[in-house]
Structure formats: structure tokens, C-alpha cells
Amino acid sequence: MRVTDSHRQLSLLRQLSAGSAAVARASDQAVTGLRVNRFSDDPVLGRQIVDFDGALRALSQYQRNAGAARHRVEAEEGVLQQVTDLLTRAKELATSESGSTANTATRAIAAAEIRQIQQQVIALGNTSQGGEFIFGGQATGAPPFQANGTYVGSGNSRQSELGPGQLVDTVHNGDQMLVNSGVMSALAALEAALMADNVAGIRTSMTSLDGALDATQTLHAEIGGRDRSLELTMAMLTTRSDSLIARRSAVAEIPLEEAVINLTSAQTALEAAYLATSRTLSLSLAGYLR
């Protein structure tokens, strides 16, 4: 096939254009430290970087979820400790008022203190964090306990997503924590017995208080285990995130030394292309003048 001067010139011009683009890309790499500044620079690497970014965004959300869950768990630990202290005080009152030194007047005073303890327990059940009532189960927008101690929250436990399809329970709902545990009923029974000046009823309520204390300690142990599990999960997510960041960096970033070498090579190739083009055009012009 005959190669004409115009074909040669067109080929040289294409080489110049490609060389100029290579220099521009190498220059961008040297300035930004990135292998890919535009998706068109390298679609394969660009796709990998997009995938890494998507995975990192997902991990970041899981880390936020885990952090928020751990704050709620720590809040429940504090609440359970306060409930334990209040039940212990109620048990002390029951023990004192079931003895021979107590009388109707002292039991009435004790009943008033038990009512205060009940209100404190209800307030603890309505604990909010970040604008959410954390013991309402999945119903976080309103107080889960009414003023009389009735639980009106959701029957489901609060969960957090810590991985694709990985939902874990975080805090107990108020029904589990204060109703099913017997805390509310034990306090109510003690108040009623004190108001009725019923020594036998007071002694019976002490057994209920012991059961509520045991149930509270069981919940405390469960929430402690969840806290440790969340701590391990957060550490694992951090490790995975660091690994992904390192792998993304290896794909997306270019060392300065390599970028400088690439720029120098691209500039040298472009200069050679200019020189070849200049000579070819000169020879073609000389042939035309002859």
C-alpha cells in the first residue's frame, strides 16, 4: 500500500496529540499525586477507585452505627446501676419497716420515699440521648413510660446494622428492663404494703425486690457482654477501613519519584515527536519545491 505524504503527516499529528495528552496527564499526576484525575484517564483503575470509595462509605456508616450503639449501651449500663441502687434502697426500707421498731407513721414516710423511687425509675426509663428515647425499642420519638409507670413503647429491641445484613441488639427496651424484670411491680407492692401498714405484705415484697435485683443484674451482665462485643466490632471495622484505605492509596496515588519519571519520559517522547514531525515536514516541503 502506497503511503502518501499526507498520511505520514496525519500520523505524525496524531502522535503529537497523543504525546501532548501524555505530558498533560503526567503533569497532572505529578501535581496531584493521583494516578487517575479523570475517569477517562484509566477506566479500569477508575472503576476500582469508585468501588473502594463505596466500600469505605459503607464501612464509615457501620462505624457510626457501632459508635452510636455503644453510647446507648453505656447509657443503659449507667441506668441499670442506678436502678440497682434504688432497689437496694427500697430493700433497706422494707427491711427497716418490717421490724418491731417501725410503726404506722414511719411506714407512711417510707411509702412516700418509695413513691419517689418509683418516679426516679420511670424517669430513668424515659432516658433520652441525641433526641431519642433509647428504651422505647424501635419507637424512639416519644417517652416509653407514662407517668403511672405504664410502658407504651415498642416491644422490639433497638438494633443496629454493623455489616451487610448484620443486625444486632443493642439496648433492652423499657418493658424488658423495668417491667418484665419485676422492678415496677416490686416497688408498687412495697408501696401498697407500707401504706396499708401490712407487715406481712412488706416482708413478701422483699422477696419480689430480691427477684428484681437478680433480674437487673442479669440484664447488666447481658449489656456488659454487648458492650464488649461492640468494642471488638469497632476495632474490626477500624482494621478493615485502614486496610481498604491502604489498598485504595496503592491504586489511586502515585509516588512523586514515579510521577517525575513519567513526566520526564512523556516530555522526551513529545520532543522526539516534534523533531520527527519537523524533519518530515521539511523533507516534504523540499521535495515539493524541487
Closest CA to 115 of 153, 89, 136: 89
Q: What is the DSSP letter of 42?
A: -
The average pLDDT across 248-266 equals 70
- Quote the mean pLDDT of the chain: 85
Q: pLDDT class for 181, splitting at 50, 70, 90?
A: very high
What is the CATH code of the structural domain delimited by 67-248?
1.20.1330.10
pLDDT in tens, 111-121: 999 999 999 99
Does residue 1 surpass a pLDDT of 50? no
Domain ranges within the chain, ordered by starting residue = 5-51+252-289, 67-248
Q: What percent of the chain is modeled with pLDDT above 90?
A: 62
Sequence-ordered strand ranges (E) for 3-48? none
pTM: 0.76
* Average pLDDT score over residue span 71-76: 95
Instruction: Name the E strands within the chain.
Output: 128-129, 132-133, 159-163, 166-169
Higher pLDDT, 42 or 61: 61
pLDDT, mean of residues 61-68:
95
- Output the pLDDT for position 26: 60
- Looking at residue 285, its pLDDT comes to 44
Least confident of 48-57, 108-117, 217-226: 48-57
Q: Which of 18-22, 138-142, 186-190 comes out lowest in average pLDDT? A: 18-22
CA 192 to CA 150: how far, in whole Å?
17
Using pLDDT thresholds of 50, 70 and 90, give the confidence band for residue 96.
very high
> What pLDDT was estimated at residue 3?
46
Q: What is the pLDDT of residues 235-252, one digit of tens each?
A: 999 999 999 999 988 887
Side chain identity, residue 238: T
Q: Flag whether pLDDT at 272 surpasses 70.
A: no
Residue bearing the bigger pLDDT, 100 or 39 = 100
Q: Which residue has the cell 410503726?
A: 103
Query: At residue 273, does pLDDT exceed 90?
Result: no
- pLDDT exceeds cutoff 60 at 156: yes
DSSP 188-235: HHHHHHHHTT-HHHHHHHHHHHHHHHHHHHHHHHHHHHHHHHHHHHHH
Query: What's the whole-number mean pLDDT along residues 88-116?
Result: 96
